[in-house]
Structures are given as structure tokens and as C-alpha cells.
Amino acid sequence: MAPKKTPSRREPRRIAVLTGGGDCPGLNAVIRAVVKTAENEHGWHVFGVRDGFEGFLVAADRGISRLDRRDIAGILPQGGTILGASNRCNLFAVERKGRVTDESWRVADTMARLRLDALITIGGEGTHKAAARLAATGVRVVGVPKTIDNDLGGTDVTFGFDTAVGVATEAVDRLHSTAASHHRVMCVEVMGRHAGWIALHAGLAGGADAILLPEIPYDPDRLATRIASRVRHGRRFSIVVVAEGAKRAGGAPVFRRGKGEDPILDRLGGVSLLVAKEIEERLAVSVRTTVLGHVQRGGSPSAADRVLASRFGVRAVRAVADGESGVMVALRGTDVTTVPIEEAVATLKTVDPAGELVRAARHLGITFGAADGSDDAHTAARRRHGAP
């Protein structure tokens, strides 16, 4: 589907950029690329919107200010975002004094008043759903995909993912030595609400013995059986990587706050503690848990994320120059292109339980504790050859 073109009365001269949703390594690299490309290639002025869409709700336009080379100096290796971010602002349902109103009109109003020709939104699913609705009202919007979960559709990879996987993998590496020394089972909880990409990649890279994903409901008895098999074969420790959204067959995700009814306020967390308890109830082994949490979001972006984020920023400015709107830049194969935002947010990109990565993990002897028995063929093959 070809990107939608929006005719313009004149060549853009002033554009805005914001970072929405949770922070992520590589956000500053995109901001830097947008400012440098806009100035170097077009002579445009770039304005930063503070704290995501909340910047449009601040009185007297104090949430928006000019960005120049001095603002972006040295930010390429920095984590977080110099613009600030917010994942609690819904322009279409703003609560004021107990009343909920649609204040999305403020975006077009503010952009017209400040003579801003286009808005570049850097964010994940929530940010881009809002961006798509704004584009439908006539606001010229170009999106840039960001999420450490790598679950945004339309693009092969989102920046931030590589850094998060690197952090999780290093944690698994470090826990290996402790697990082996004390003959323990280590449960490592990583981010991944609906998609288990971080857990799958970090588990593969770190040599995990079990990986629990939101896409493959697990059976604690099957998980315990595999760990017990390792013990019988002299492997007195195991590493279990658990995505925060993992759940038992027939069960629900574990929340440390709320019950999953509010996507903004409710928080997943603690499933690794449940998994540890289930293992201890079934086996005479010592189990410890490590919850990585927001450490996966922080710190300097990896080289791969810096490059991808920079490419995305450059391509976003080009999309504005070409008169595109309602599109998101995306990595397809080796090329950075644009896709309709509606396509990107239509469905989450989740792990295929029958996909090549899952099959590769099983061939390597990793179990998913799959309640549907999909691990069984690989388990039987290992047993025939005397493997744990």
C-alpha cells in the first residue's frame, strides 16, 4: 500500500518533534538526526514538544521551544530523551476537574499559531494510535517507531530493542556463575507485556535453559520436569528467563498493581516470583529471582540502536519534505521506508509459537514449558540421546 501524500501550499519551514510513551535508548539519537537533517538539508527550524503530547496542553505554548545545534550537542550516546516523555496523556480524553473532554484540537490550533508545518512523533503503539487519529483530522504527522518490546507492527525492528536485549543478556550471563556456584535455579524477569521478544532473544543469547513467553502459556509441572531432568544428569543449576507477561495455561498475567483493566495505571510484575514458588513446590531445589525492570530502558544505546535511530530520524525529515502524512518510518529488510500508521498499529507484532526462533531454541534444548505439549517432540529426542 503506497504512503498517503498530503499536498502542501508551500514547502515546510518549521517542524515539531516529540517523544511519547516510555523512555527508550536511542530517542536522543532520533532527535539529533531530525534537527541536523532539517537544518543541513533544508534550512528548516525544529521545535521540541516537551513531555510528549502533554506539551500541547501547557498554557502559553510554554511546552514547545526551538531546538538548535547547541541543544543536540553530545546527546547521541545519552539514554532517555532531552524532551521528556509521558505515557499518561490521552489528548482525546483529558480529565479536568472531574470532566473528560477531547482536547486533540489543541494540536492543530497550536501548530497553526506557531506556524508549524508538520509533527514528527517518536513513540510506540499508544503514541502512534494517537498520531493516526491526528492525521485523520488533517494534522501532518510522520511517526518514528520506538519500543524496547519490539512489538510495533509495520517495521522489522524498533530501536531500543537491541539495547534492552543486550542488558538482559548481560544479566543472564552474570547470573550463570552464581547459579552454577550455588546449584540454584535463577528466574530472570524481563520486560514484555504482550510480546516475548526480549525474553526469547536474551534467553537464546544467554544460554537459558527455559524461556517463558506471553505467547506460549506454560505448565509448571512440565517446567519442573525439565529442571529435574537436568539435576538427574548432573546439571545442578538452571536459568529460567521469564517475560513479565508470561502466564500459566488458563491463567492470567501477574500484576503488581491493578488487574490489567487500566493500560496506563496498571503495572505487570512479579510473575518470576510465582514461577519460583511453583518450582520450589515441586522440586527440592533453591530458587532465586531477579527482576530487571526499568534497568532495561536506561543507559546508553547500543551502536546498532544509534545507527537505526539516526536512520529513522533522517527518513522522517525526508518524508515531511516529500509531503507525506499519516505514515511511519520503518525498517523493511535493509531499507528504511515509510508505511501507513494504520498498518503499523493494526496488530501487535508478537512471537510466533511455531516460528523459526522458537524452533531454534527447542533444537538447542531450551524448553518453553509449553502446556500444549509443543515441546514434547524435542524432549523425546533429547531423551533418546541421553541429553537432559
| Domain range enclosing 231 | 162-297+352-384
Is 102 designated active site? no
The answer to whether residues 281 and 185 belong to one domain is yes
pLDDT of residue 307: 98
pTM over 0.85: yes
Residue 186 lies in a domain: yes
Q: How far apart are CA 235 and CA 215, in angstroms?
A: 28
The answer to whether residues 218 and 306 belong to one domain is no
Lowest mean pLDDT among 5-14, 113-122, 130-139, 168-177: 5-14
Q: How far apart are CA 38 and CA 46, in angstroms?
A: 7
The answer to whether residues 220 and 139 belong to one domain is no
Residue 151 lies in a domain: yes
Q: How far apart are CA 160 and CA 150, in angstroms?
A: 8
Residue 306 lies in a domain: yes
CA distances from 169 to 164, 165, 208, 212 (A): 9, 6, 10, 15
Lowest mean pLDDT among 50-54, 167-171, 183-187, 373-377: 373-377
Q: Check if the beta carbon of residue 189 is closer than 8 Å to that of residue 271.
A: yes
The answer to whether residues 287 and 168 belong to one domain is yes
* Kind plus residue range of the DSSP H or E element containing 186: strand 184-190
Q: What is the largest CA-CA distance in the chain?
A: 74
pLDDT(191) > 90: yes
* Kind plus residue range of the DSSP H or E element containing 269: none
Give the number of other Cβ atoms within 10 Å of residue 261's Cβ: 8
The answer to whether residues 137 and 170 belong to one domain is no
- The mean pLDDT of 295-311, rounded to a whole number, is 96
The answer to whether residues 246 and 214 belong to one domain is yes
Q: How far apart are CA 221 and CA 370, in angstroms?
A: 10
- The mean pLDDT of 23-49, rounded to a whole number, is 96
pLDDT of residue 224: 95
Q: How far apart are CA 292 and CA 324, in angstroms?
A: 39
Q: How far apart are CA 54 and CA 18, in angstroms?
A: 10
| Mean per-residue pLDDT over the chain, rounded | 91
What percent of the chain has a predicted confidence (pLDDT) above 90? 79
The answer to whether residues 145 and 21 belong to one domain is yes
Q: What's the DSSP call for residue 41?
A: I
Separation of first and last alpha carbons in the chain: 49
Q: What's the DSSP call for residue 53?
A: G
- The mean pLDDT of 126-143, rounded to a whole number, is 95
Residue 4 lies in a domain: no
pLDDT of residue 5: 55
Residue 318 lies in a domain: yes
pLDDT(314) > 90: yes
The answer to whether residues 370 and 255 belong to one domain is yes
Residue 1 lies in a domain: no
| Torsion from C-alpha of 166, 171, 174, 175, nearest 10 degrees | -140
Kindly name the residue from 149, 151, 209, 305 that is annotated as catalytic.
149
The answer to whether residues 115 and 226 belong to one domain is no
Q: What is the CATH number of the domain that holds 232?
A: 3.40.50.460
In degrees and rounded to multiples of 5, residue 340 shows phi and psi of -60, 135
Residue keyed to cell 516523555: 85
- The mean pLDDT of 188-212, rounded to a whole number, is 96
More confident residue, 308 or 90: 308
The answer to whether residues 320 and 334 belong to one domain is yes
H helical segments located in 183-270? 197-206, 220-232
* pLDDT tens-digit series, residues 258-295: 666 666 555 677 899 999 999 999 998 999 999 998 89
pLDDT of residue 86: 85
The answer to whether residues 209 and 134 belong to one domain is no
Total domains present in the chain: 2
Among candidate residues 222, 224, 197, the one with its CA nearest the CA of residue 369: 222
Residue 49 lies in a domain: yes
pLDDT band at 148, cuts 50/70/90? very high
pLDDT band at 296, cuts 50/70/90? very high
- The mean pLDDT of 294-313, rounded to a whole number, is 96
Q: What's the DSSP call for residue 247?
A: -
pLDDT of residue 387: 72
The answer to whether residues 321 and 203 belong to one domain is no
pLDDT of residue 318: 97
pLDDT of residue 261: 60
CA distances from 172 to 43, 182, 190 (A): 47, 15, 10
Residue 9 lies in a domain: no
